[in-house]
């Protein structure tokens, strides 16, 4: 498995010639075959909890583009949903999660029931099915949102209001800490279940880590993620990729303090800074997903810059954030070809 070889720093000289590639949100609305299954499944959550359809859409981008990894089709908001909060996805309006705003709202969370939830079993069944049908040379990625990012959807009303979230972190610190502690413990349970079901790699998405300043970043991003990573490391040797999107200079503090095996960098991270990070761990990233909407010469230029800077050392090619639904399929084919044929 070329992706695992890179993550485990496996010194195989032949495999080291190649850069593994997969794309965040690779299963999704830019694919006609996804849109077809999505229509059949009913709601987005129905699709997430339908093991055979979730597995089918997980495998679609592998069949089409031959990526080196499949990421299980699900969502970071599954954890609050399993905890008993209502979660809805309204097209064009983003997700809506039932709010926790006061101490007594914490009693809405069904913590004791979480571990044995039928919903976790369904996600695990999708992982098992996918692992059975996925080529042995491909890695299967399980994932969860990091507690801070999941909490931002729980504490703020329907639209993401970061002033509100930052204010909450400063002025409702105790309540936020309790919520984050619950999410941390349940996320550990959820990830262990995914590993038992066949996940070869785990990715932690912290999409909104970048809105916090240093103290709060340490309290609500670094500390809980550290706990998750160390508990998973005690449980298994499955490699973990951290994605503290938008962390800027705080990426350094993140990699120094959280023992992830790899860090996914967003498209704001300068390549020289990424090279520095690469001295201590594997880097994944970081093409701006908007480049994928352009013509092939721009894709070549931007991908070439990234490959020249990072492909000599331990590197996984990815986007700096999820693929956009307007992305032309032929551009994805072009990208995979270009990365595969890159001569180190
Ligand atoms: O990467 C993959 O292919 C695996 C599946 C995956 C989804 N969401 C599927 C999805 C993963 C890894 C996620 C993670 C996720 N979900 C994140 C972290 C990554 C990031 O993008 O920052 C976040 C913040 C969410 C929350 C979420 N879920 C948002 C903001 C949305 C978009 C809402 C919209 O309508 O555009 C979702 C819904 C969602 N999750 C879709 C998919 C394919 C679109 C729903 C649909 O098909 O109708």
- From first to last of its 344 residues, the chain has per-residue pLDDT tens of 899 999 998 866 555 678 999 999 999 999 999 999 999 999 999 999 999 999 999 999 999 999 999 999 999 999 999 999 999 998 778 899 999 999 999 999 999 999 999 999 999 999 999 999 999 999 999 999 999 999 999 998 756 778 899 999 999 999 999 999 999 999 999 999 999 999 999 999 999 999 999 999 999 999 999 999 999 999 999 999 999 999 999 999 999 999 999 999 999 999 999 999 999 999 999 999 999 999 999 999 999 999 999 999 999 999 999 999 999 999 999 999 999 999 87
Tell me the pLDDT tens digit for each residue of 80-109. Answer: 999 999 999 987 788 999 999 999 999 999
Q: What atom in ligand 1 is closest to the CA of residue 72?
A: 4
State the catalytic residue, choosing from 30, 34, 49, 153: 153
Which residue's alpha carbon is at the smallest distance from atom 40 of ligand 1?
75
**Is 64 annotated in the active site?**
no
Other C-beta atoms lying within 10 Å of the C-beta of residue 194: 24
Catalytic residue among 5, 38, 131, 314: 38
What is the C-alpha separation between 11 and 273, in angstroms, rounded? 24
Angle at 99 between CA 203 and CA 176, to 5 degrees: 65
Contact 278, 313 (CB under 8 A): yes
- In the prediction, which pLDDT does 261 show? 98
Task: List the structure tokens of 103.
Answer: 């101490």
Angstrom distance (rounded) from CA 78 to CA 80: 6
Instruction: Tell me the CA–centroid distance for residue 48 and ligand 1, in Å.
Output: 11
Give ligand 1 pocket residues (Cβ under 6 A). Answer: 24-29, 38, 44, 71, 73-77, 89, 91, 94-95, 143, 205, 207, 322
Q: Is 153 tagged catalytic?
A: yes
CA 113 vs. chain centroid, Å, equals: 25
Residue in 145, 132, 143 with CA at minimum distance from that of residue 198:
132
Residues 183 and 160: their CA atoms lie apart, in Å, by 19
- Residue 88 host element (H or E): strand 87-90
Strands 139-145 and 94-97: unpaired
Closest atom of ligand 1 to 143 CA is 12
Query: Is the separation of the CB atoms in 222 and 209 below 8 Å?
Result: no
What is this structure's pTM? 0.96
């Amino acid at each position: 498995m070329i992706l695992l070889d890179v993550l485990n720093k496996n010194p195989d000289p032949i495999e080291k010639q190649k850069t593994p590639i997969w794309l965040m949100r690779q299963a999704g609305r830019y694919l006609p075959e996804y849109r077809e299954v999505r229509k059949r499944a009913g709601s987005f959550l129905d699709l997430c909890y339908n093991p055979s359809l979730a597995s089918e859409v997980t495998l679609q981008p592998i069949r089409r583009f031959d990526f080196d990894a499949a990421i299980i089709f699900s969502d970071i908001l599954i954890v609050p949903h399993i905890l008993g909060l209502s979660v809805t996805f309204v097209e064009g309006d983003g997700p809506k999660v039932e709010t926790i705003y006061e101490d007594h709202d914490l009693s809405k969370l069904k913590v004791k029931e979480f571990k044995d939830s039928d919903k976790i079993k369904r996600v695990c069944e999708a992982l098992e099915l996918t692992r059975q049908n996925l080529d042995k040379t491909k890695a299967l990625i399980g994932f969860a949102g990091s507690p801070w990012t999941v909490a931002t959807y729980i504490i703020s009303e329907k639209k993401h209001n970061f002033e509100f979230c930052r204010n909450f972190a400063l002025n409702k610190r105790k309540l936020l800490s309790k919520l984050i502690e619950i999410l941390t413990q349940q996320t550990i349970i959820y990830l262990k279940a995914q590993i038992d079901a066949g996940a070869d790699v785990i990715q932690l998405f912290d999409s909104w880590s970048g809105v916090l300043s240093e103290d709060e970043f340490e309290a609500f991003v670094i500390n809980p993620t550290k706990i998750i990573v160390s508990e998973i490391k005690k449980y298994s040797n499955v490699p973990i990729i951290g994605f503290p999107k938008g962390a800027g200079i705080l990426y350094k503090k993140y990699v120094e303090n959280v023992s992830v095996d790899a860090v996914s960098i967003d498209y704001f991270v300068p390549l020289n800074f990424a090279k520095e990070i690469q001295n201590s761990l594997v880097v994944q990233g970081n093409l701006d997903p908007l480049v994928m909407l352009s013509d092939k010469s721009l894709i070549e230029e931007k991908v070439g810059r990234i490959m020249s800077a990072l492909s000599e050392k331990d590197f996984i090619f990815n986007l700096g954030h999820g693929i956009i639904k307007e992305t032309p399929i032929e551009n994805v084919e072009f990208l995979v070809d270009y990365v595969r044929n890159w001569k180190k």
